[in-house]
Structure 1
Amino acid sequence: MNLSTTNEMPASTAATRDSSRTYAWVVFALMFCLLLSDYMSRQALNAFFPILKVQWQMSDTHLGSISSVVPLTVGILTLPFSIFADRWGRVKSIALMVALWSVATLGCAIASNYEEMLVARFFVGVGEAAYGSVGIAIIVNIFPKHMRSGIAGGFTSAAAFGSVLGVSLSGIVATHFGWRWSMGVMAIFGFVLLIVYCCVVTEKRLERAHLEDVAPVTYGSAKLTLRALIAGIFPSRSVFCAYLGCALQVFIQGTLFVWLPSYLNRYWGMSVSQAALTAAGLVLVSGVGQLMCGVITDRISGGSSLKRWNMAIAYCLALGALLTIAFQVPQGTLQLVLLAFAVFFLASSFGTCSPIIANATSSAIHGSVFATLTLFNNILGLAAGPFLTGAAADAVGLKVALHCLPLLAVLPFIMFIVGRRFSLAETSRSRLEQAMLSRNGKSQASDV
């Protein structure tokens, strides 16, 4: 009998792996498109603020509130909804969420006053509450571990692109067909994706696409006490500073994304569609900057959390300085160019704070950890920013309110410096404890 060895895998195994890889990319594309729909439904309203202000005689505080209610609701519900999805089933939970935010977006299209719009926007937030954390939890389990950074970065970039599409498409549709049709188009897009998702993504097919180097998902298996969960989410003071610093920088991001179309319309004399397209271009620059800042941080920092803190401080300093200069120069091309350079660093905290938090927490609870980061970013950033800026605009004018915005970059800057100091102290303490344990171990060995 002839015995031989070969490096070639059986044809059936290779075919199965190719099929699983193809299915994984199909799921990724659907998850990406659903996040596009998520942010299109969330940001579309910002494009026709000028129309609603005149049509419904709304104050800037009212406009800010109907924008802020979505991220506020997301921030409050993201953690409990993420825990529920992990236990009940992620595929079913996402289908329910998409259906809810699409119906609520349709409700925005038929709202007849501020109160009805506020209620509809609240349910948009309920539907979108945990999609980001649950969606990424699905895709990281069907791709190899060495691809997770790229997959996660590609998935979350849909937020910026969805914001661009939502604002720009909404402005164009509102100009030609009315603002109600803008929200209707967003709702239809969500319903179409929901039908495709339900036909393509199932628990059984995801299980067949499961990879050997990724831990399987078992719903309802994790039963941590509340105290243990909180301790795992907040293991140190430096991690808390990363949560808070990221949210304070997102405050600036949320404010600019919401109020730039109105600023360009009121003070530059742009039409609603022109202002929406210009603001969308700046949001797109922010999305590219988010990706590039993450790549640059990885190349410079490697595996060093201390260097990531340094990068967070540098990016925040650049953001504050460029925004200050941009709002001081006269309106014109130079101001737009400077704003573009500034917003390049607008979302840089995602690429610095997320790895810092992930490296300091257990991978077993990363779903809850990133849901907590989402909570901070939405409540203290995306919700607080537009609302407080709207209130300030009613008091002193939108132009003055935005011109004061760069001063707030001092807050995340300080938080990153404090977090870096805590991180250094925690690292030194950890090394000292390890040295003492090693010394005690050697002492016990010599006694034996």
Structure 2
Amino acid sequence: MFGLTFALLLSDYMSRQALNAVFPFLKEEWALSDSRLAALNSVVALVVGLLTFPLSLLADRWGRVRSLVLMATTWSIATLLCALAADYGQLLGARVLTGVGEAAYGSVGIAVVLGMFSPHHRASLSGAFMAGGSFGSVIGVALGGVIAVQLSWRWSFAAMAIFGLLLAVLFRVFVSQAKVDRYQRGDTTATGGETTTGAGYRAPVSSLFSVAAVNCAYIGSGLQLFAAAVLLAWTPSFLNRYYAMPPDRAGAVAAVLVLVIGAGMIFCGLVTDRLSHERPTRRWTTAVSYGLLAAVLLIVGFNLDVSGLQLVLVGAGAFFSAGASGPAAAMVANLTHDSIRATGFGSLTLVNSLLGMALGPFVVGVLADRLGLLAALRLAPLAYVGAIVALLIGKRCYPAGLARLAKLDQRLST
């Protein structure tokens, strides 16, 4: 189950991020500005942000497994339409449909995965699952660049679409809701502050936003993804313009950086689970630490002259740039009821998309048109200041949030 769900997440981000590798081809063929290129990227994250909550809520009621299959089929068909686009407007429309298909996949997929493992491993599992976005981006950027150079940018999209459709068929054949229900693991009350889960009742949707700590987790997670999203979107163009790398080589080098982001998410999730097993509040502390490290390394790196040292520091910053993703997802899981957990992750995805994945690349694109790309990249890590403040407030409110959720669970069960 984890393998197939993870593979579909790879397809999700391959379809989304292949665009970044073909930016130079689109800019030359259609004479597009950086802001219009950025819009092609950010519109997917924007649609994901707008639709993830209602579609996650629908999946909680309609069936998570059936929803996953439908989502994968939709984004794969949309990616195929990207390959057939005749102009900028058609490509933008196809990217909107891509966002519709991808909107709730991450939230529903991670809810299914976390339900099958012990609550004490949530940060590790969340980090590993969400790192699939980085690994998919690696494959999408690298493979997309190679295919675009060897064949055309249209074939870059077509290849991603075919891969997604094949995985959707495999998922439909081997995974069923009955199998998922059979291996479902409920929450258990423990020193880690986990809550019990009863059956036969559903928590109100309002409980997803009525706890200050979970709102801080949403905001902190979204803002810490601002710079990570910028690195995903603009690294190929940065290498092409300032290091004079051809698109295929820039895509390959950028893919290594994105791989570093994914490795950092897994590492940070594992470290967080080890340090917070007995003291759950340490999840907040580690998340703050990762944001602080990323901010310092990226600010120093982008202010250096073009050199190998610059790439090393940017790479080190990238390693921690999304490190808070696993801890934040674990905190959301601990602060939301199991009956609406996919919707809770939908809320997390909503904020991640609006504050991070959509806002980051677009803001940097607009700033790049006025200040230059390098100057815009130097400003991007300042978003970590807001993330750190939100996470520190969330840590302070965390015990009260757990107590409120426990009262809700008791009230519903009686």
Query: Structure 2 length as normaliser, TM-score?
Result: 0.89
Instruction: Return the offset for 1:423.
Output: 4.2
Tell me the residue number matched to 1:331: 306
List gaps (5 residues or longer) in structure 2: 188-198, 408-414
Quote the residue 1:72 is aligned against.
46
Instruction: Report the CA distance between 1:92 and its aligned residue.
Output: 2.1
Does the C-alpha gap of structure 1 residues 296 and 118 become closer, same or farther in structure 2, counting only changes over 3 Å?
Answer: same
Q: 1:144–1:211: 8 Å Cα contact kept in structure 2? A: no
Q: Are the equivalent residues in 2 in contact too, given 1:68–1:387 (CA < 8 A)?
A: yes
- After superposition, residues 195-344 of structure 1 pair within 5 angstroms as 195-206=169-180, 210-211=182-183, 213-214=185-186, 228-230=204-206, 232-344=207-319
**Contact 1:235 1:361 (8 Å CA) reproduced:** no
Cα deviation per residue 1:336-393 (whole Å; 9 max; x = unaligned)? Answer: 1111111111111112222223323333322221111111001111001111111111
**Shift, 1:330, TM fit:** 1.4
Q: Determine the structure 2 residue equivalent to 1:81.
A: 55
In structure 2, give the amino acid aligned to 1:229: V
For the Cα contact (< 8 Å) 2:130–2:326, is it kept in 1?
no
Q: Which amino acid aligns with 2:162?
A: I
Residues 1:205 and 1:412: Cα distance change in structure 2 (over 3 Å):
closer
Q: Find the aligned partners of 2:318 and 2:225 in 1 and give their Cα distance.
A: 11
**Residues 70-149 of structure 1: pairs in structure 2 closer than 5 A:** 70-142=44-116
Match of 1:409 among 365, 370, 384: 384
Asked if 1 retains the 8 angstrom alpha-carbon contact of 2:10 and 2:135, the reply is yes
Corresponding residue SS for 1:404: helix
Aligned match of 1:420: 395
Report which structure shows greater RCO (CA 8 Å, sep ≥6). 2
Please tell me whether the aligned partners of residues 120 and 273 of structure 2 are also in contact (alpha carbons under 8 angstroms): no
Partner of 2:194: none
Query: What's the CA shift for 1:206?
Result: 4.3
Contact 1:90/1:134 (8 A) holds in 2: yes
Distance 2:250 2:148 in 1: 12
- Could you tell me which runs of 5 or more consecutive residues in structure 1 were left unpaired when the two chains were aligned: 1-26, 435-448
Q: Tell me how far 1:86 sits from its aligned partner.
A: 2.0
Which residue is 2:162 aligned to?
188
Aligned pair in 2 of structure 1 residues 160, 88: CA closer, same or farther (>3 Å)? same
Offset at residue 162 of structure 1 (A): 0.5
Q: In the TM superposition, what whole-angstrom CA distance separates every residue of 1:304-336 from its partner, at most 9, and x where no partner exists?
A: 243222222221111111111101221111111
- Equivalent of residue 363 in structure 2, options 356, 375, 388: 388
Alpha-carbon offset, residue 138 of structure 1? 3.1
Indicate which of 376, 387, 408 corresponds to 2:351. 376
1:56 equivalenced with 2:5 (yes/no): no
Alignment length, in residue pairs?
A: 394
Q: State the TM-score, normalized to the length of structure 1.
A: 0.82
Shift of the 213–324 alpha-carbon distance from structure 1 to 2, 3 Å rule, reads closer
Give the letter aligned to residue 92 of structure 2: L
**1:141, CA displacement in angstroms?**
4.4
Matched letter for residue 256 of structure 1: L
- Which structure has the larger Rg over C-alpha atoms? 1
Q: 1:133 offset after TM fit, Å?
A: 1.9
Q: Distance in 2 between matches of 1:395 and 1:105?
A: 31
SS of residue matched to 1:315: helix
**Per-residue CA distance 1:46-92 (angstroms, 9 max, x = gap):** 01111111111111110111101111111111111112122222222
